[in-house]
Chain A
Amino acid sequence: MNTRTRNPLRRRYLRELWGQFGKYAVIFVLLVFTIGLISGFLVADGSMIIAYNDSFEKYNIEDGNFRTDEEISRSNRRDIEEYGIRLYDNFYIEKGTGEENTLRIFQDRDQVNLLCLMKGQSLQKPGDMILDRMYADNNDISVGDSVRFGSREFTVTGLAAFPDYSALFQDNNDAMFDAVKFGIAAVGEEDFSQFPSDELVYNYSWKYNTPPASAEEEKKLSDQLMEDIAEEIYLEDFVPRYINQAIQFTGEDMGGDRAMMLILLYIMIVIIAFVFIVTINDTIARESAVIGTLRASGYTKAELVRHYMVLPLLITLAAALVGNILGYTYLKQVCADLYYGSYSLPTYVTIWNSEAFVLTTVVPLLIMLAATFLTLWRRLSLSPLQFLRRELRRRGKSRAFRLSPHIPFSARFRMRIFFQNTGSYVILFIGVLFANLLLLFGLALPAVLDRYQESMQDNMLCKYQYFLKIPAYQMDKDYELDKILTSTFLRLSTRTSNPDAEAFSSYTLRIPEGEALRTENIQVYGIKKNSRYIHASIGRGEIYISSAYADKCRIKAGDTIRLKEPYENKYYEFEVDGIYDYMGGLCMFMRSEDLCETFGLFEDYSSGYFSDSEITDISRDMVASIIDYDALIKISRQLDVSMGGMMVIVDGFAVILFMVLLYLLSRMIIEKNAQPISMTKILGYSDAEIARLYIVTTTIVTLLILAVTIPLENVIMKFIFMNYLAARMSGWITYDIPQIIFIKMFLIGAVTYFVVAVFEIHKIRSIPMSDALKDVV
C-alpha cells in the first residue's frame, strides 16, 4: 500500500461534518449530555460511596443497636458484653419541635457513630446543638438559628452528618425515610442529663470485639446475639447494622442508582449507534457508485470500512471527552447535590474514577466501534459491480409491492415512502419507546404519589390509630402474678372515654427471608366483632390481609402465608380468607380473640385504639405512636421530595431525546429523497404539496408509533414499578396512573413532532431544482 501520499479521502471528514452539521451536532450534543450526566453521576456516586464506605471506620459506626424499656443493669451489661461485643449507651429523647416535626436528640458522641461536622462548630456551651445537615436544609435552618424542643430552646452551632442516620428513618420498619419532618440532633452531656429519665429511650449500640469476616457470618452472629440478649433482658427492638435502613439504605440506593444510570447510558448508546447505522446505510446507498468506482480502482474493503467508521467514532470520542470534562466539573456537583438533597452524607472528596471513564468512554466507543464495523463490513461485502449498478440488496433485486391502482395516487406515494424507509421507522419505534418510557417515568411518579395521597384520605382505617406502650410480653398469660398486676395497671391507665375509640389488639410479625422480594414487618390487627372501622365480616378463625400486602406479595384468597416472630425463630402459617381494601400498610386482620389465642395473650388484651377523633384523655407517655394521614403518606411525601426535582430533568431529557431522534430520522428520509423532491419541484409540485407527500408519511407513522407504544410502555413501567418498588422499599404504593397522563404523553409527543416537522418543511423548501439535473455521484 502507498505510504507516500496521505489518503485524500481524509479530507472528506471535516467537509462531511460541516455539510451535515445539523445532524452531527444533535448527535454530539445528545452524546455529550448523556455521557456527561452519567460520568458526573458515576464520579459523584463513586466518590460518595467511597466516603460512605469509609465512614464506617472513620466515624466508628456501630455494628448494631437494640432498645430496651428500661436502662439495663450493670450485671446485665456485663453478661451481654460476654457475648463478644462492647456496648455503648446511645440514649435519645424524641419530641415535636412545634412545627409538626419530630426531633430525636442524642448526647454528643465520642466513641461510636461520631459526627462529621460539615458547617459551623462543635458544641461550645450548654444550650448549643448540632443538627443534622439535611434536616436543617429541608427546614431552612442555619447555624445560629434557634430550635425549639418541647419547652426548651437550643442554638444551632453546627450542621453535621450523623453516620448512623445517613437516611433519616425514624423507625427501621418505616416504608421510607423522612428527611423533612424527622431530624437528628446532638447536645452536650449537661443538657442531655437534664432531660427527664422517663422520657429517654434506652438505645444501646454495640460493636463486635472481633468483626465478622463476611455478610453471612455477620448475620449468623447477630441472630445468635439476639437470642442470647433476649434471654437476659426484654428487647423492644433489635437492629443489627446489616438490616438497619438508616445506615444501609443510602449505600443500597446509591448502588441501585448506579446500575440504573448505566442501563440508561447503554440504552442511549445503542439508540445512537442505531442512528449511526441508519446514517451509514443511507450514505452507502447515496455513494454506492462512488464506492463501486473506488473498489474497481483498487481501494480495499478494509480501507473503505475504516473511512466510513472514522466520523461516527470521532464524534463519539469527542463527545465522550467533552462529556467527561463536563461530568467531572459541573454535572458532578449537580449529581452530588441530588444525593445531598436526599441523604445525610458526610463530606466527600472527588476521586478519579477510572471505572467511570471506562464505562462512559471506552465501553460506548467499543459499542459504537462494533456497531459501525459490523454494519460496514456487511454492507461493503458486495462486489464493486453491485455498487456500480446500485444493487445494494444482498438477495436479489428489490421489488416494488403491488399497490392497487384504486388506492389514490398520494396514498400510494406515501406508502412507497413508508416501505422505502422501514429501517428508519423501526429505529424511530425503538427510540420513541425508550424516550416515552422515560417520559412516562417522569410524569407517572408524581401522579402515582398524588393519587396515593388522595386515595389515602378515603382509604384510612380511621383518622387516628393509637398504638399504646403496652408490650406484648406484659400480656403473656404464662407470666407470674406481678406481671398480671402490671398489665392491669397498664390497662387502667390507657382507658379512654372517647366514644369514637374502638380498642384493637396488635402483634408484629415478619416476612421470613426468601418468602418475598423483601423481608419486612406485618402488622397483625386483632379486631372486635362488628367493628366500626374494619368493614369486613371476619369470622372466628378467619384471616384477612390488606390489599397492599396482597398486591405487593401477590397473595390471593386461599393462599397460605408464612410469617415469623421478628426476633425469634418461631414461625406461623395462615390461610388467607379474604383481601381487605386497605393500601396504608402491609397488615393482617383477624378477630381479637383469635389474635390472643394464636400468640398466647390474655383474652382481653388490647394495645391500641381506632378513632375518628383525637383521643385526649390518655397520657402521651402511654402512646407509642399515632398513625394519622401524615404518617401514612410519609413514603409518598419523601419520594416527592427526593425525586420530584429529578423528574423534571427526566421529562426534559425524554422530550429532547424524542425530538432529536425524530429530527435525525425524518431529515434522513428527506435527504434520501432529495433528487426525487427536486424532480417533483421541476414537474410543478408546490412545496406544500411535496411536504404533504413526504412529511405526512412520517407524521402518520409517528402518531401511530405514539399510540402503539404508550400502552406498551404502561405495561413495562408497571412491571418495573412493581418489581423495583417491591424489592427496594418497605410498604406499598399502587401503580395507578390517571388516564390524563397518557393523553399528556401523546400530546407532548405530537407537539414535539410538529416542531420537528417545521424544520423538515424548511428543509424541503431549501432543496434546489438543480439537484435533479446533476449527477455528480
Chain B
Amino acid sequence: MLLELKDIRKSFGKGDSHVEVLRGISLGVEKGEFCLLLGPSGSGKSTLLNIIGGIDTADSGEIFIGGERMNTMKEKQLTRYRREHLGYIFQMYNLIPNLTVRENIEVGAYLGRHPLDVEEILHTLGLYEHRDKLPNQLSGGQQQRTSIGRAIVKNPDILLCDEPTGALDYNTSREILRLIERISLQYRTTIIMVTHNEAIAAMADTVIRLRDGRIRDRIENAVRTPAEELEW
C-alpha cells in the first residue's frame, strides 16, 4: 500500500459555526492506482486531498505514505515529502506569468530527484510549439496542460489533482482527462483526483464517494473506461 489513511477527522470553526468536514475517513491507495474522490460541493473531498498533500492537517487519525507516518512530520519534513513524492494540479493553473511554458515546467523539474525530460513532456502534452510562449498567450486548456507538465515532470509518486477540469469547457476537459489517463498509463503514476463530475468515475481504478465528510461508497472498476469515451 502506497498511501494509507486511518480514521481521518477534520473540523472548522467553533461554537455555532463548528463544522465537521471529515468524520473518520479510512482508505488505502496502491502504487499506480488511479483513485477518484467524488462528491458534491462541501463533501470534504478537497480537504481530504489537501491533508493527503500535506498542505492541511487532520485533527486526528493517521496517514502513512510508503510506510512512513506523515502526520507527525514537522513543516520541513512535510515540504521535503511534497517535494519528493507529490505533484499538484489545481483548478486554477497558477502559472508564473513571466516564465515561458518550458520554464514553468522546469520549475517542477528543478524539484524532482529524478525528473523526466522536459522536451518529452512538452511533446507528450502537445505544448512543444508553444514552449516559448508566456502564459497570457495561451488558452485555458494550454495553461492547464502546462500546469500538468509542471506537476508530472518531477516524476512524483503521487499526482494530486483538485478539480483539474473545473474551469474548462467540455472539449478541453476531455483533452485534459486524456492526458491524465496517459500519464497514469505511461508513467504508472499514482493519481488521486477530486471531482464532482459523476461521468468521470468510469476512467478511474477506484471511485470513493464522499458525502458530509464520510465515505458513502467505494467502487473498484474492473475495467477503466478510456477518457476518450467519456460523455457528460
Residues 2-39 of chain A: 1 if any B CB is under 8 Å from the residue's CB, otherwise 0? 10011111011001100100000000000000000000
In the complex, whether B170 has a CB less than 8 A from a CB of chain A is: no
Does A289 make an interface contact (CB < 8 A)?
yes
Q: Which residues of B contact A724 (CB under 8 A)?
A: none
B135:A776 contact, CB within 8 angstroms = yes
Given contacts A289-B94, A298-B79, A298-B82, contact A8 B103 (CB under 8 A): yes
Chain A residues with CB under 8 Å of B82's CB are: 296-298
B168 contacts chain A at the CB level, 8 A cutoff: no
If A11-B103, A294-B107, A298-B80 touch, whether A776 touches B93 (CB-CB below 8 Å) is yes
Do A383 and B55 touch across chains, with their CB atoms under 8 A apart?
yes
Interface residues of B in 87-137 (CB under 8 A from A): 87-88, 90, 92-99, 103, 106-113, 115, 135-136
A388 — which chain B residues lie within 8 A by C-beta?
55, 90, 94
Chain B residues, Cβ within 8 Å of A2: 110-113, 115
Knowing A293-B94, A297-B151, the reply to whether A776 touches B55 (Cβ < 8 A) is no
Tell whether B169 is near chain A: CB-to-CB under 8 Å: no
Residue-wise interface mask of A (540-558) relative to B, using a CB-CB cutoff of 8 A (1 in contact, 0 not): 0000000000000000000
Which of chain B's residues have a CB closer than 8 A to the CB of A301?
79
- Bound CA–CA A2/B96 (angstroms): 20
| B7 on the A face (CB < 8 A) | no
Collect the chain B residues with CB atoms within 8 Å of residue A300's CB: 76, 79, 83
Q: Would you call B174 an interface residue if the criterion is a C-beta within 8 Å of the partner chain's C-beta atoms?
A: no
A295 to B109, CA, bound (A): 14
Q: Are B106 and A297 in contact (CB under 8 A)?
A: no
Inter-chain CA distance A706–B130, complex, in Å, is 51
With a cutoff of 8 Å between Cβ atoms, the chain B residues found around residue A6 in the complex are 110
Q: Which A residues lie within 8 Å of B95 (CB)?
A: 290, 776-777
Residue A385, interface by CB 8 Å? yes
Contact A15 to B110, CB < 8 A, known contacts A289-B92, A385-B50, A776-B93: no
Flag A385-422 by CB within 8 Å of B: 1 or 0 each. Answer: 10010000000000000000000000000000000000
Contact with A along B56-99 (1 / 0, CB 8 A): 10000000000000000000100111111011101011111111
Is A295's CB under 8 angstroms from B79's CB? yes
B195 within 8 A of A: no
What string of 1s and 0s marks CB contacts (under 8 Å) between B191-224 and chain A?
Answer: 0000000000000000000000000000000000
Contact of A293 with B90 in the complex, beta carbons under 8 Å: yes
Which chain B positions have C-beta within 8 A of A19?
98
Task: Determine the distance from Cα of A95 to Cα of B80 in the docked complex, in whole angstroms.
Answer: 87
Give the complex CA separation of A325 and B107 in angstroms: 37
Contact between chains at A9 and B107 (CB < 8 Å): yes
Does B39 interact with chain A (Cβ within 8 Å)?
no
A482 adjacent to chain B (CB < 8 Å): no
B143 at the interface (CB under 8 A from A): yes
Interface presence of A140 (CB below 8 A): no
Are B109 and A5 touching (Cβ within 8 A)?
yes
Taken together as a complex, chains A and B put the C-alpha atoms of A8 and B107 apart, in Å, by: 6
Q: Considering only CB atoms, which chain B residue lies closest to A775 in the complex?
A: B92
Is B150 engaged at the interface, CB distance under 8 Å to the other chain?
A: yes
Query: Separation in Å of the A70 CB from the closest CB of chain B?
Result: 86
B53 interface residue per 8 A CB criterion: yes
CB of B222 to closest CB in A, whole Å: 33
Contacts A297-B86, A298-B111, A776-B136; is A292 near B106 (CB within 8 Å)? no
Decide yes or no: A11 and B99 within 8 Å by CB, A5-B106, A383-B55 being known contacts: yes
The winner among B108, B111, B150 for most chain A CB atoms within 10 A is B111
The interface bits of chain A over 265-301 (1 if a CB of B lies within 8 angstroms of the residue's CB, else 0) are 0000000000000000000000101101111111111
Set of chain A residues within 8 Å of B135, measured between Cβ atoms:
776
Most buried by B among A2, A287, A776: A776
Can you name the residue of chain A whose Cβ is closest to the Cβ of B112? A2
Q: How large is the interface on A (under 10, 10 to 19, 20 to 34, 35 or more residues)?
A: 20 to 34
CB distance from B48 to the nearest CB of A (A): 13
For the complex, is A442 an interface residue (Cβ under 8 Å from B)? no
Q: How far is the CA of A298 from the CA of B83 in the complex (A)?
A: 4
Q: Does A774 count as interface, using CB distance less than 8 angstroms?
A: yes
The answer to whether A384 has its CB under 8 Å from any CB of chain B is: yes
Whether B94 lies near A5 (C-beta < 8 A) is no
Residues of A near B106 (CB, < 8 A) are 5, 8
Q: By the criterion CB–CB under 8 Å, are B110 and A777 in contact?
A: no
Q: Give Cα distance in the complex from A308 to B110, angstroms.
A: 17
CA distance A6 to B90 in the complex (A): 25
**Contact (Cβ within 8 A) B143 A776:** yes
Please state if A298 and B96 are interface contacts (CB–CB under 8 Å): no
A295 to B55, CA, bound (A): 9
Whole-angstrom distance from the CB of A307 to the nearest CB of chain B?
A: 11
Contacts known (A16-B98, A297-B88, A300-B79); A5 close to B103, Cβ less than 8 A = no
What residues on B are CB-neighbors of A290 within 8 Å? Answer: 94-96
- 1/0 per residue B132-146: CB within 8 Å of A? 000110100001000
A15: chain B residues within 8 A (beta carbon): 98-99
Cβ contact within 8 Å between B111 and A299: yes
Give Cα A383 to B107, complex, Å. 20
Whether the pair B115, A12 counts as a contact (CB closer than 8 A) is no
Contacts of A5 in B (CB 8 A): 106, 109-110, 115
Cβ contacts under 8 Å, A385 to chain B: 50, 55-56
Given contacts A296-B53, A298-B86, contact A777 B94 (CB under 8 A): yes
Chain A residues, Cβ within 8 Å of B108: 297
Chain B nearest CB, measured from A213 CB (Å): 59
Instruction: Tell me how far the C-beta of A584 lies from the nearest C-beta in chain B, rounded to whole angstroms.
Output: 67
- Given A296-B82, A297-B82, A298-B80, decide whether A8 and B110 contact each other with a Cβ distance below 8 A: yes
Minimum Cβ distance to chain A for residue B19 (Å): 16
**What is the distance, in angstroms, from B10's C-beta to the closest C-beta of chain A?**
12
Question: Which A736-777 residues sit within 8 Å CB-CB of chain B?
Answer: 774-777
Chain A 297-320 residues near chain B, CB threshold 8 A: 297-301
* Interface pair B94/A292, CB less than 8 Å apart: yes
| Chain A, Cβ-Cβ closest to B79 | A300
Whether A774 pairs with B98 at a CB distance below 8 angstroms is no
Residues of the B chain whose Cβ atoms lie less than 8 Å from the Cβ of A16: 98
Question: A665 → chain B, closest Cβ, in Å?
Answer: 23
Complex contacts, B76 vs chain A, CB 8 Å:
300
A11 to B97: give the CA distance in the assembly, Å.
12
Distance between A3 CB and nearest chain B CB, rounded to angstroms? 10
- A297–B56 CB distance below 8 A: no
Q: Which of A19, A293, A299, A300 is packed against the most chain B CB atoms within 10 Å?
A: A293
Task: Contact check, A296 vs B113: say whether CB atoms are below 8 A apart.
Answer: no
In B38-57, which residues have CB < 8 Å from any A CB? 50, 53, 55-56
Which residues of B136-177 are within 8 A (CB) of A? 136, 138, 143, 147, 150-151, 154
Question: Which residues of A lie under 8 Å from residue B138 when comparing CB positions?
Answer: 776
Q: Which residues of A contact B112 (CB under 8 A)?
A: 2
What CA separation (Å) do A341 and B19 show in the bound complex?
Answer: 77
Q: How far is the CB of B41 from chain A (nearest CB, A)?
A: 15
12 contacts between A and B (CB under 8 A): A2-B110, A5-B109, A8-B107, A9-B99, A16-B98, A290-B94, A293-B90, A293-B94, A296-B82, A297-B154, A298-B154, A299-B79
Question: What would 5 more interface pairs be, CB under 8 Å, given A9-B96, A290-B96, A300-B76?
Answer: A2-B115, A8-B106, A19-B98, A290-B95, A777-B97
| Top 6 A-B pairs, shortest CB-CB distance | A298-B83, A8-B106, A293-B94, A776-B135, A298-B82, A15-B98
Interface residues of A (CB under 8 A from B): 2, 5-9, 11-12, 15-16, 19, 287, 289-290, 292-301, 383-385, 388, 774-777
